[in-house]
Structure 1
Amino acid sequence: MESSSRAALLQHANGTTISGRAQLIAAGRDVVLHGPLPAAGTSNLLRPVSNATHTRAGHVARCDPGTRLEVIAKIRQRLDGHDNDNRAVVCWLNGPAGYGKSTLAQTIAECYAAEGRLLGSFFFLRGAGERSRISRLIPTLAHQISLTVPGAKLLIESAIEDEPALLESTLSLAHRLQRLIIEPIWLNTSQLSSSSRSVSRSLNKKIVVIDGLDECDDKAQMAHFIDILLSASSGETHLPFQILLTSRVEEHIRKKFDSSKARFLHRLELQNFDARWDIQRHFRREFDCIYDQNWRIMQRIPKPWPSARDLVALLNKAGSSFAFATTLIQCVGGDRMPHQALQKLLASGVNGLDSLYEQVLSSASWTEHFCQILGTIMILEDNKSVSFLSSLLSLQHEEVICELLQTQSVIKIPGDDNEPVMLYHTSLRDFLTIKSRSKQYFIDPPLQHLHLAIHCLKHLAECPSKDFFEGDVAHYACFNWPHHILLGFQRQQLYVDETMMSSLETLIEKLLTFQGNTWYNTILRFISSQLLQFSNGHHMLNMYKTLQGSIVTQNLIKIFQQVIDFCKVRVYNQDIFTNLL
């Protein structure tokens, strides 16, 4: 029977169950799942995070030609080692925010890729969805290795076929690293050459780049991953490549790199490199571009612009911070009168990145809509577009754009409304969400999470009643409203006014009453198709425990018990959803 005929037979069925290789059946208002998932290629199995590699699209910072030469040479010296040195090496490049770690990592990755020596790369980014989660690191690297190492693809697919749990986070990081990355490389090597020693020497010259360890949300897991790498490099297991890691010196990272396991660790601290000449060159290049782009306005301004005196003042303000230099250039270049904007900044006493952020934000309107948009961007699970923001926040496209234009020197606003809005540097999020730094511009993350949960629930309430929620915004709202509530109530002393609490209670009850099946069916479909690994019941239980320890109404706690019960009775396939509740 043709598939279309089978579908026709089920068109008006209710409570239908299909076994075999069926993946998902939407029959009437019920969804039933049975049988194994269909086979998929390496890419579909591993689900690599394509925008986390050195080949990602969009705004990618790399070193200006002729700059950072000393640092690049030192990194390459550490990674390349000596011809007779077969030991795997971990190189840790560290430095404060804004010192150019990611830019250097990108440049190094591109250099080795051009030489055919890069196995893979991963660039963590806080607040960027899967780019901020360690669970996607090994699959993404494994996918790149399947493309860069001849023969590795079949070995990786074979490993997954033998042990499907490798695709899940239920297995240890060490085991997944061994099976999906280390073993495919070594097994492939042994098949290609009988001279393991010469091949070993060759492989140790292959490179992996992992940037922004501090940008990973899973701090405990990241610390464990560092432990695994250091153990491998010291010989407890065998790491068949050299690896460059970059991060700020955060405590959970520093402790691991200070351990006795770090025998073959090379440390490079950006504070020890004088970046003044590089920043001066960067200033000159960018200000020349600004001058040329605004020549009709600036034709009476003498060159060189800025003057030598002003350039020295700018360099003193920037120190070694490329983020400061880049943000200042954006401020000046985005003004209608760049030369006047520069003089204003020089006279303002701005010194350091925080004071520059204050200067930019002081000129914003701080209307209700501006606060909504900025707060949402700071806490969203991923970078979203103008279209997405306008739909989620129930605003017009032009309203979102007009409000964001006030901060275009620190937030990248794409020309296409469907492209993601991004921070030029993640230090802006740090600044805005730490009250001691941002002061009157502080964005309170827990409160913003609750506001966003309300927007998610309101959006779902406005969606038409169907078997599934449709569209990117509805999907985000469907999967993340529990997440935002959980993060909203994690702070014990959080004050939530009665209006907000009442809104949450009403909207959740409305969702369960009128669109509960639609909500749950949508979650079920995405889990079953492996497009999303989401344990909704687990989120609910965590949220229930959090709410019990928070200052919230008993009615809200009671509602979440109803949500948990609602989820429980709709789990049809215990084999696939054992971790759901």
Structure 2
Amino acid sequence: LDSLPEASFDAANKQHVATCLPNSRRDVLAQIRRWADGGDGRRIYWLKGWAGTGKSTIALTVAREYSDKKRLGASFFFSRGGGDLASTRRFAATIAVQLAEASPQLRRHIADAAAVTHRMRGLGLYDQWERLILQPLAQLSKEAFPDPLAIVVDALDECDNNDDVSLLIRCLAAAAAIEHVDLKVFVTSRPDQPINLGFDNIAADAHQDFILHDIEQSIVDQDLAIYYKHQLGQIARTSHLDAAFLSDDTIQTLVQKSYRLFIYAATACRFVREGGPLAGERLAHLLSTKRLPAKAGTALDRMYMTVLEYSLTAELDPEEMARIRELFRRVMGTIAVLFDSLSPASLAMLLDQPKKTIASLLGGLHSLVDIPEEEDRLIRILHPSFREFLLDSQRCSNTTFCIDAKEAHRHLFECCLRVISSCLRRDICDLGRPGTRVGDILRLDINKSVPFTVQYACRYWVYHLERSDIDPQEHRGVAEFFEAGFLFWLETLALIGRLADGIAMLQLLEARLPVGMPDPCSILQELTGGRKALRPDSEAFSAR
């Protein structure tokens, strides 16, 4: 099964993400435990709240706790800009693999289902879910899971297709409705309209809702104070700061500035910690703005602007400011609109920039962006609200940092086209044997011949084109691609198992191609004997 290991709560990409501190979030966690452990007929628990209110930390805590109790069936943490982590394409397979690991009985039924359905990746979400989850669960005996079994789905609002969100909620409700298996489904999201509609379309008595941002102010402030004392205490010990660093006045001021947002507190503490020996100076800088924000969004925007200005533009002359502005738009603008995360090495290759240049810009932004020291680990924006801030000119008022999304997509489209044009060729894996099956080629050999930067360019160039202000009929590079690189691109997509993505991209482009260009879908029909022959697991173009 084509599962997604990095979606799980215990994946390597979350190994440094903290769970709730002891004695914090006690009320909401106690209510979740009562629901998960008891006989509540409502088997879905929907925790909804504003951006930055701590939903993912609670989800991680719940997943960790029930994993330790051997009662976690599966988890899936969505992540916008994380490639398949922002899609439902591999959701059913990922949940199925984890459930199979949790139960030997279920493993047998899921394996049987996978064995008889050879086109699993080509099926829609509900059909996959029915074959891999619903039917195997229905075959279980009542004794298979004597205790309630939890499934945790975090950040549903970060799924990139609203129609899929509604369908996924229907899938979860169908699994929770299987009477003889006490499945408890814990879901977190923002209270966005598509998700509200999705829950409206299932029975009201099937789910319990909890609005995180409606918790009493004093309780949230107490939890924030616990967090600040813990984090600043650690910083004080490592930086050898005096007791004034942890005074009650300091904690109280920070709590008030946070305006109920844990992402504000987390960003503030990371910003102070990154100061090292200047941690005290950074804390004083945060405390110096006495005027309290009028609302949560304003507080968070002010925090992001403070970090950016302090880290990147302090004491710069106009010429240096102009250079920083251009570099920030190129590098941070790219990171903000990527469809999948890239490593520092891959980002440098895609942008055709020296790795040192990128590292110098990002070096001061560790409180906002996870920037790995290892070249093969992925750069990751720490919270989606920072991406949203950068792309919104009403929120990001400093033109040095505001990102024009269309301009960023235009630049990335041109970068992708450059990579495709310069790197793709016939028989890119040097097999020398036409007709070799993709399944017979080692994944290691494919990744060596087709680096991740090239894979990214092949998978997403059309989507960057679509979201830019470019007219394909007026862009010579598009015509040149179809004249010279089209079949090489198809072969590469087949090698990396993404031919179905290529078909979807071509269908998206059909109506927008330059006048006089051959219809690429017609070419596919000629090569394969009809579009129906093009299955997502097709190997028709491998090693031609």
TM-score class normalised by the smaller sequence: 0.7 to 0.9
Which of the residues 282, 297, 312 maps onto 1:341? 282
Q: Percent identity?
A: 25
Q: Displacement of 1:407 after TM fit? A: 2.0
2:318 aligns with none
CA distance in 2, matches of 1:424, 1:346: 23
Answer whether contact 1:433 1:442 (CA < 8 A) is retained. yes
1:183 aligns with 135
CA distance in 2, matches of 1:402, 1:221: 39
**2:492 aligned with 1:522:** yes
**2:194 aligned with 1:248:** no
Q: Say which is worse superposed, 220-229 or 96-105, in terms of deviation.
A: 220-229
Deviation per residue, 1:344-402 (Å, 9 max, x gap)? 12223574111111222234353322211111111112111110100000011111100
TM-score using structure 2 length: 0.84
Distance 1:52 1:124, change over 3 A: same
Q: Say which is worse superposed, 91-100 or 259-268, in terms of deviation.
A: 259-268
CA distance in 2, matches of 1:463, 1:200: 52
Which of the residues 424, 434, 459 maps onto 2:419? 459
Matches within 5 A, 1:45-60: 46-58=1-13, 59-60=16-17
CA distance in 2, matches of 1:232, 1:157: 18
**2:426 aligned with 1:471:** no
Which of the residues 208, 219, 222 maps onto 1:266? 208
Q: Displacement of 1:227 after TM fit? A: 3.2
Which of the residues 475, 492, 510 maps onto 1:544? 510
1:282 aligns with 227
Q: Displacement of 1:576 after TM fit? A: 4.3
**2:450 aligned with 1:484:** no
Answer whether contact 1:88 1:240 (CA < 8 A) is retained. no
Answer whether contact 1:461 1:510 (CA < 8 A) is retained. no
Q: Displacement of 1:57 after TM fit? A: 0.6
| Secondary structure class of the residue paired with 1:438 | coil
Answer whether contact 2:9 2:76 (CA < 8 A) is retained. yes
Answer whether contact 1:93 1:268 (CA < 8 A) is retained. yes
Matches within 5 A, 1:380-419: 380-419=338-377
CA distance in 2, matches of 1:384, 1:260: 38
1:103 aligns with 57
TM-score using structure 1 length: 0.79
1:67 aligns with 24
Aligned-pair RMSD on alpha carbons?
2.7
Distance 1:525 1:576, change over 3 A: farther
**2:481 aligned with 1:511:** yes
Distance 1:178 1:534, change over 3 A: closer
Q: Which amino acid aligns with 2:339?
A: E
1:314 aligns with 254
Which of the residues 68, 71, 95 maps onto 1:114? 68
Q: Which amino acid aligns with 2:12?
A: A
Deviation per residue, 1:78-136 (Å, 9 max, x gap)? 12123xx6x46111111111111111111111111111111111111111011111121
1:223 aligns with 166
**2:306 aligned with 1:359:** yes
Q: Say which is worse superposed, 152-161 or 110-119, in terms of deviation.
A: 152-161
Q: Say which is worse superposed, 336-345 or 435-444, in terms of deviation.
A: 435-444
Q: Displacement of 1:186 after TM fit? A: 3.5
| Secondary structure class of the residue paired with 2:515 | helix
Q: Which amino acid aligns with 2:223?
A: D
Q: Which amino acid aligns with 1:542?
A: L
Q: Displacement of 1:292 after TM fit? A: 2.1
Deviation per residue, 1:426-459 (Å, 9 max, x gap)? 1111212223222333322232222101001112
Number of residues of Structure 1 aligned to a counterpart in Structure 2: 493
CA distance in 2, matches of 1:357, 1:329: 13
Q: Displacement of 1:256 after TM fit? A: 3.2
| Secondary structure class of the residue paired with 1:208 | strand
Q: Displacement of 1:306 after TM fit? A: 3.3
Q: Displacement of 1:247 after TM fit? A: 0.7
1:211 aligns with 154
Q: Say which is worse superposed, 209-218 or 282-291, in terms of deviation.
A: 282-291
| Secondary structure class of the residue paired with 1:313 | helix
Q: Which amino acid aligns with 2:418?
A: K
CA distance in 2, matches of 1:460, 1:572: 27
CA distance in 1, matches of 2:292, 2:260: 15
- Unmatched tracts of structure 2, length 5 or more: 294-298, 314-323, 429-448
1:5 aligns with none
Distance 1:285 1:506, change over 3 A: same
Q: Which amino acid aligns with 2:230?
A: R
Q: Which amino acid aligns with 2:10?
A: T
Q: Displacement of 1:282 after TM fit? A: 1.2
CA distance in 2, matches of 1:566, 1:462: 23
| Secondary structure class of the residue paired with 2:75 | strand
| Secondary structure class of the residue paired with 1:535 | helix
2:388 aligns with 430
